[in-house]
Copies of this chain bind each other. A is one copy, B any other.
Amino acid sequence: MASPRSWFSIPKGSPFSIANFPFGIISTKESPNLRTAVAIGDHALDLAAFAANNGFSAISTIQPHQAVFSESTLNSFAALGRPIHSVVRKYLHSVFADDTPYPDVLKNNAQLQQEALIPLKDVTTHLPMKIGDYTDFYAGKNHAYNCGVIFRGPVNALQPNYDHLPVGYHGRASSVVVSGTPIRRPNGQILENPAAEKKVPIFSPSRKLDMELELGAFVCKSNPLGSPVPIAEAEESLFGLVLMNDWSARDIQAWEYVPLGPFNSKNFGTTISPWVVLADALEPFMVKGLQSGVELLPYMQEKRKENVYNIKLKVDLTKTAKSGTRTTITRTSASNLLFSFPQMIAHHTIGGCPFNVGDLLGSGTISGTDPTSRGALLEQSENGKVSIKLDGGEERTFLEDGDTITITGLCGEDEEGLVGFGECSGTVEPAIKLDF
């Protein structure tokens, strides 16, 4: 990706520089059919329109596959494999570069610019992939330790298995939604007094609604039942990344999760950002992750040492109630992970579990070590004991109705080469009232 400059006007600080080209699914008022786009600056390039107007005429590799850009999910594009994703992204980069070798494609083609470059504010984004299965890992070791202390005390905070394998659970694919979808506070069973000897649950809206700051990774390769994905090939399965908020009801979770894991505390909504940042685009930002206390078994040993991403993550809480004030409550780096996505894939499939294109992996909540870098309110508030002060005077331990959580993530120091995700955002709606 030679040139960092574009003939196209890209606002300063945009996460969608010409070093990025994340893929998403869009529709517009004028054209309600779902189709593929890439984000560039504050515009979306409609790839269905771009393809229909010979945008890809200079690149023979993609020509037999152009129909994928008219589909309503990215699955077929993802299934083409990483070498093709790379070719398409590099081509789009060269089309937008100042010194583009293809000026007639778009730079000097006012009509196609008019047709295919749509302001992001006029675009509706949709769930980018049809998700077959969704697995949420727990590889944020700082978070796992902090939560373990809260739920099980410091002695058993991390189980003996924690460093040896990426702990995870199967999530609910049907509950994954795109940024902007309102999240209803769930009703469910909770204990009013968890310390009481007699455990009798009440039915209530969750009183401990929380967010979880995570990365999501989409899979672009399938493997059949009984055939593990070797660690050396697992990177080839990585389509791209999104930001993820794994909303969690801590009181429902505490009551339900032993012995089979979290269930209704997690399946009422998981929000992802709409633009899938290709694994290739994130390659320059790979760094070492958290260090393991043990030697991993060979099936999870990676050749590369720098296997996680130095994405600067930020969580904002916006009070819509009165002031609408936005407070940054978390700043951390996505490098705070004990396992990489390729390690997760190698472990997940080692017994023969099949993957399909479009499957989603969550990293687990990402927290740093200091209090302002914690990726969940459970940790920040020490399960409700400590208040988090918001700009404008209010406080929170957990989320209130009307609160909006917005996650952003950005790589790179130089605004000309920024690679970011845009926003992963959701607003809490009041629980529905149920009469019995």
**Any B CB within 8 A of the CB of A180:** no
Stretch at the interface among A29-37, A69-77, A253-261, A402-410: A253-261
Is A264 within 8 A of B353, CB to CB? yes
- Classify the interface of chain A: helix, strand, loop or mixed: loop
Within 8 Å CB of A2, what residues of B? none
Q: How far apart are the CA atoms of A264 and B353 in the complex, in Å?
A: 7
Within 8 Å CB of A169, what residues of B? 169-170, 260-261, 263
Within 8 Å CB of A347, what residues of B? 264
Which residues of chain A from 259 to 276 have a CB within 8 Å of any chain B CB?
259-265, 267-269
Is B159 within 8 A of A203, CB to CB? no
Is A167 within 8 A of B436, CB to CB? no
Q: How far apart are the CA atoms of A226 and B172 in the complex, in Å?
A: 14
Q: How far apart are the CA atoms of A298 and B187 in the complex, in Å?
A: 13
Stretch at the interface among A10-18, A100-108, A332-340, A354-362: A354-362
Is A186 within 8 A of B351, CB to CB? yes
Within 8 Å CB of A25, what residues of B? none
The 8 A-B residue pairs with the shortest CB-CB distance, nearest first, are A261-B261, A186-B351, A298-B436, A160-B199, A184-B226, A267-B353, A169-B260, A170-B170
Within 8 Å CB of A350, what residues of B? 186-188, 264
**Any B CB within 8 A of the CB of A24:** no
CB distance from A67 to the nearest CB of B (A): 22
**Any B CB within 8 A of the CB of A299:** yes
**Any B CB within 8 A of the CB of A179:** no
Is B261 within 8 A of A172, CB to CB? no
**Any B CB within 8 A of the CB of A329:** no
Q: How far apart are the CA atoms of A168 and B170 in the complex, in Å?
A: 11
Given contacts A169-B170, A226-B269, 18 further A-B contacts (CB under 8 A): A160-B199, A169-B260, A169-B261, A169-B263, A170-B172, A174-B355, A183-B226, A184-B352, A186-B352, A187-B350, A200-B294, A203-B299, A206-B351, A226-B429, A261-B261, A267-B351, A269-B352, A299-B436
Is B172 within 8 A of A268, CB to CB? no
Q: Which A residues are closer than 8 A to B by beta carbons? A: 132-133, 138, 148, 151-152, 159-161, 164-165, 167-175, 177, 181-184, 186-189, 199-203, 206, 225-228, 249, 252, 255-265, 267-269, 294, 297-299, 347-348, 350-356, 359, 429, 432, 434, 436
Q: 21 A-B Cβ contacts within 8 A?
A: A161-B199, A165-B189, A167-B256, A170-B172, A174-B354, A182-B226, A184-B226, A186-B350, A187-B299, A187-B350, A188-B351, A202-B297, A203-B298, A226-B429, A258-B259, A260-B262, A263-B348, A264-B350, A267-B348, A268-B352, A268-B353
Is A261 within 8 A of B264, CB to CB? no
Cross-chain contact of A354 among B160, B175, B203, B228 (Cβ < 8 A): B175
Is A133 within 8 A of B164, CB to CB? no
Within 8 Å CB of A182, what residues of B? 226
Within 8 Å CB of A132, what residues of B? 173-174
Is A353 within 8 A of B152, CB to CB? no
Q: How far apart are the CA atoms of A432 and B151 in the complex, in Å?
A: 39
Within 8 Å CB of A152, what residues of B? 259
Q: A133-B172, A170-B170 are in contact. Are A348 and B203 (CB under 8 A)?
A: no
Cross-chain contact of A297 among B184, B203, B267, B348 (Cβ < 8 A): B203
